[in-house]
Amino acid sequence: VFKIYIFKSKNQEFSKNAIDKLQYSWYNVPNDTVRSDFVVLSKTEWKRILASPLFRGVDSRKAVRILEEHDCLASCFSDGEILMSPEEQQKRIGILLKGTALVTTPDPSKETLLRFLEPEEPFGIANLFLDAPFVSVIRAHGSCKAFFVTKEAVCALLEQDRGFLYGYLSFLSGRI
């Protein structure tokens, strides 16, 4: 069973074209990332994404347009579900929107907690441009919601918005 959640303001109606695009986006999600739900973001959640360290100082209208054009998706996760792991095939980054997540080492027999993720925190940044698997496991700690930005969207943002470029570099510099 697949669900499509659509959030709209009182005076905003979705055109048939917008609904078709949502359905088209859902059916084009690679098999390794198929979720039981496809979530369209509310205005508040878009604000949370734009408040994350990567998006501070960006042209918000341009950023939202690029994210929508590149099929960036939000997903909901139950306690213990994996948000990202070394088995991840698709190159993308995530931003936690709601709840918390645990970042652990990938070996279950020696699992070590590396850190907690809180809302607005990005993850998967350092591995995006590497030809290596993701180096840790990110698992939902209670129910949570995350937004995933495709590598193509990140590249477009890096090319078209200096604010995003500086935010991305600043975030990576803080991790070194």
Question: Can you tell me the mean pLDDT for 132-145?
Answer: 90
Distance of CA 85 to the CA centre of its chain: 14
pLDDT reading at 32 higher than 60: no
Question: Can you tell me the mean pLDDT for 12-29?
Answer: 39
- At residue 29, the 3 state secondary structure works out as coil
Question: Can you tell me the mean pLDDT for 140-147?
Answer: 94
**What would the two tokens of residue 138 be?**
């990110």
pLDDT reading at 65 higher than 50: yes
- Ranking 39-48, 140-149, 159-168 by mean pLDDT, the lowest is 39-48
C-alpha distances in Å from residue 109, one per residue of 14, 54, 87, 104, 133: 48, 34, 17, 12, 19
Residues 140 and 76: their CA atoms lie apart, in Å, by 9
Residues 60 and 124: their CA atoms lie apart, in Å, by 22
pLDDT reading at 28 higher than 50: no
What is the per-residue pLDDT across 67-87, written as a single tens digit (0 to 9) for each? 888 888 899 999 999 999 988
CB 138 within 8 Å of CB 85: yes
Beta bridge partners of 74: 39, 147
